[in-house]
A and B are shown apart, each in its own frame.
Chain A
């Protein structure tokens, strides 16, 4: 059952990303990515990581992609981008992709050697995750909040000035 769900979700995810590559409309690309990230959230759920799944759907498929959609609407690019004839670039990119894929699969198979699917030792539940976040990773968590504040101020400073100067 879980295998069927995994196959459906991964096909949906990879297909949506492929459609994002093929599509020439930026808004369509962003919507395909919303689909891809939502199905990826489902895959996170299959991996016994419910909190990461929720964060994925809320933050990625929700907040970040909506931000992208707002930006796309702001740009108002009506010219539909002439399909460029850059065969060489596409061939080179495909070759790079094949090589990188082979490399990643090799590295992954080496990383997984002797590490079969093991029962999680209390790693799956959220209470353990929260305790970990607020004990071992406390400094990282606090610095992350600082980072978000800096991003907020930085975005205001960058894009907020309109008639200031």
Chain B
């Protein structure tokens, strides 16, 4: 029997790694992947608590999160493609003139 705390610790570790990747990486695509890692950590925490509390509602939330993440990936990648077409670069330290 695996304690639910182990799953929660793994979710916390994954979330923190996503944050670190988001701040260390310098291009939009990899930062976007870091956001996906954080979403997955959230899903894992939902499922761990679902099992610990014996309810099924958490699984429905996980399904909604997965579909919303798919929609978000589509729109985000379209925006990144647009940025790349205009600027010929997706490195965030070259996209400094984004104001207001």
Q: Which residues of A contact B (CB under 8 A)?
A: 2-3, 6, 10, 13-14, 17-18, 20-21, 26, 29-30, 33, 36-37, 40, 43-44, 46-49, 51-52, 55-56, 59-60, 63-64, 67-68, 71-72, 74-75, 77, 81, 84, 89-90, 92-94, 96-97, 100-101, 104-105, 108-109, 111-112, 115-124, 128-129, 132-133, 137, 140, 144, 147-148, 150-152, 154-155, 158-159
Q: Report the nearest A residue to B73, measured CB to CB.
A: A64
**A3-B2, A154-B78 as given contacts; A121 in contact with B21, CB under 8 Å:** no
Interface SS of chain B: helix, strand, loop or mixed?
A: helix
Q: How many A-B residue pairs have CB under 8 A?
A: 224
- Enumerate chain A residues within 8 angstroms of B54, measured Cβ to Cβ: 118-121, 123
Q: Which residues of B contact A (CB under 8 A)?
A: 1-21, 23-27, 29-30, 32-33, 36-37, 40, 43-45, 47-57, 59-60, 62-64, 66-75, 77-82, 84, 90-91
Q: Which of A10, A37, A124, A150 has the most CB of B within 10 A?
A: A10
